[in-house]
Amino acid sequence: VYIIFSKFVSMARQTPAVQQILPIPSIEPSQEGGKGEDKAYLPEHICEPSPEKLVGEMLPRNLYVQLYRALLETSTSEHAARMTAMDNATKACNDMLDSLTLAYNKARQASITAELMDIIGGAEALKG
């Protein structure tokens, strides 16, 4: 059984991830140095109650935690993507507002200049 979810890397980056949850991957001892030496020593543990009962208790909890973590990462990724999109939209709106304000001010200034030219032209016509 595999789960596919959005892995949260950073606010600007989320990546798709695939994780195997069942069967639980076995943990193999690593080789020291990669020179064909003996495998790393794994101590033998004493389990009470029996390993079967312990696995029976821990397996559902492990599955729950893995699924919950995947849901949390997906939710975090979604919120980060939305926040980034809204930030970009806000910046675009501010840029548009600035350009519209500049266009409005230029049109207003042109209107004022035209009115002044009409007034000055009328005054010159009355003089002369």
Whether this prediction's pTM lies above 0.95 is answered by: no
Encode the chain (128 residues) as per-residue pLDDT tens digits: 999 999 999 998 999 999 999 888 776 655 555 554 455 666 787 778 888 888 888 999 999 999 999 999 999 999 999 999 999 999 999 999 999 999 999 999 999 999 999 999 999 999 87
CA distances from 40 to 30, 37, 70, 109 (A): 6, 9, 31, 81
Is residue 48 classed as helix, strand or coil in its secondary structure? coil
CA 90 and chain centroid, separation: 17
CA quadruple 79, 83, 84, 85: dihedral sign: positive
